[in-house]
């Protein structure tokens, strides 16, 4: 069954790649063209660094020329919807990691049971291949256990980073102020703001 544990390890390595999540949050943290005060994106910068300590999170408000599709946020609604989407993406990744952790625990138990059974395999004084079969069974079980352990060593710290990033993302509306907390709650419940509405407080 080494192939199964190998698949679990490969899946753990895939989940560990948070490059797309970091890129999305980094764009938010930069808030180019959004019109937000730098202090308002502190939580977003922390979220990006939680996933990647080396993430570039410098602030740049951009210019009016920069404010077009694909380079900035035309409104607070657009910005907060992007924050909400980032929160969903990180939560989804955390859910996948948790599910894989549970599968790995089960796989580890199965591998340990196989190891116990391998150690208990009887051998004869006049070996007819039994010693080799026992050794092969033990080595196979140990290999399965090692792969599960390696996968767990990837997922455990990954889960902590995801939880930290999620907490920081949830801080973003509070960083923006009480009014935006209410707006964010509205968005999280499926509400939509006018596409071209500018920032609620002191809009331009």
Percent of the chain scoring above 90 in pLDDT: 42
pLDDT digits (tens, 9 = 90+) for 15-53: 999 999 988 887 777 654 455 556 567 788 888 889 998
Residue 14 lies in a domain: yes
pLDDT digits (tens, 9 = 90+) for 122-174: 877 777 778 888 899 999 999 999 999 999 999 999 999 999 999 988 887 77
Domain count, the chain: 1
Residue 193 lies in a domain: no
Range of the domain at 12: 2-188
Residue 145 near residue 115, CB atoms below 8 Å: yes
Position 99 scores a pLDDT of: 98
Where residue 67 falls among pLDDT bands split at 50, 70, 90?
Answer: very low
Residue 11 lies in a domain: yes
Q: Is the pLDDT of residue 178 over 50?
A: yes
Q: Which of 159, 125, 121 is nearest to 141 (CA)?
A: 121
Q: Is the pLDDT of residue 69 over 60?
A: no
Residue 178 lies in a domain: yes
| Sign for the pseudo-dihedral over CA of 138, 140, 143, 148 | negative
pLDDT digits (tens, 9 = 90+) for 182-193: 666 767 777 665
pLDDT digits (tens, 9 = 90+) for 144-156: 999 999 999 999 9
Residue 198 lies in a domain: no
Residue 196 lies in a domain: no
Averaged pLDDT score across all residues of the chain: 79
Cα 10 to Cα 109, 110, 124, 141, 147: the distances in Å are: 19, 19, 39, 18, 10
């Amino acid at each position: 069954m080494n192939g199964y544990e190998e698949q679990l390890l490969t899946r753990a390595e895939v989940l560990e790649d948070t490059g797309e999540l970091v890129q999305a949050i980094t764009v938010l943290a930069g808030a180019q063209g959004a019109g937000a005060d730098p202090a308002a994106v502190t939580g977003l910068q922390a979220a990006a660094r939680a996933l990647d300590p080396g993430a570039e999170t410098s602030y740049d408000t951009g210019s009016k020329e920069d404010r077009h599709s694909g380079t900035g946020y035309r409104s607070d609604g657009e910005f907060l919807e992007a924050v909400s989407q980032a929160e969903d993406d990180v939560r989804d990744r955390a859910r996948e990691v948790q599910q894989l952790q549970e599968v790995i625990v089960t796989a580890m138990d199965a591998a340990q049971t196989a190891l116990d059974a391998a150690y208990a395999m009887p051998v004869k004084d006049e070996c007819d291949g039994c010693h080799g079969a026992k050794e092969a069974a033990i080595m196979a079980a140990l290999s399965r256990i090692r792969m599960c352990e390696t996968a767990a060593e990837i997922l455990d710290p990954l889960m902590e980073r995801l939880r930290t990033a999620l907490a920081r993302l949830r801080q973003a509306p509070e960083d923006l102020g009480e009014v935006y907390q209410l707006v964010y709650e509205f968005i999280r419940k499926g509400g939509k703001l006018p596409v071209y509405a500018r920032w609620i407080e002191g809009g331009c």
